[in-house]
Chain A
Amino acid sequence: ETGVTQTPRHLVMGMTNKKSLKCEQHLGHNAMYWYKQSAKKPLELMFVYNFKEQTENNSVPSRFSPECPNSSHLFLHLHTLQPEDSALYLCASGHPPGLESTDTQYFGPGTRLTVL
């Protein structure tokens, strides 16, 4: 349960605020992911990082800005969000594609974001 941690667990922000979500993994993985979970919608992949390099941006608006300073840490910087951005933001980690890949992704507990 503590392999992937996220802070804060809850965040309320106004549309003009700037905030950051943090994710940390202690599993020795080299791939990290951001997903968005909204009510009545599937989990949506936002960003993928393999070995600190962004390998996928799933058409995410520029008001969401990811940062991966090393393989253990992932951030999601938020700026001028909209109320419809309110959701649970989940971080996950896993092994990148390769001979030793297990494909399994392990999720953090998420940050419940409310945009007023």
Chain B
Amino acid sequence: DAGVIQSPRHEVTEMGQEVTLRCKPISGHDYLFWYRQTMMRGLELLIYFNNNVPIDDSGMPEDRFSAKMPNASFSTLKIQPSEPRDSAVYFCASSLLMNTEAFFGQGTRLTVV
């Protein structure tokens, strides 16, 4: 397996635009996580899915953020409208079980200008 695949690697967008980040988890993993990394807060969990169902979205900062997992091999994180303070690195990760190690993608560096 190629691991967790995220796209794009880098995204630069203007404030107010819609941004969509994509993730392909490792095949067979039942859990998918979206994290945001910032200097101040480290790795923050935004939302996670179990078997494609969102379980906990309490980390999603605002209604401007939404995530979907239409099938076991694909998930999106959408920000609409984007703001400069959303600039960060966003990671997707997947794991077999809740209490096992998660495998991370390489991340998407988002810059909102």
A binds B: no
Q: Which residues of B are in contact with A by a Cβ distance under 8 Å?
A: none
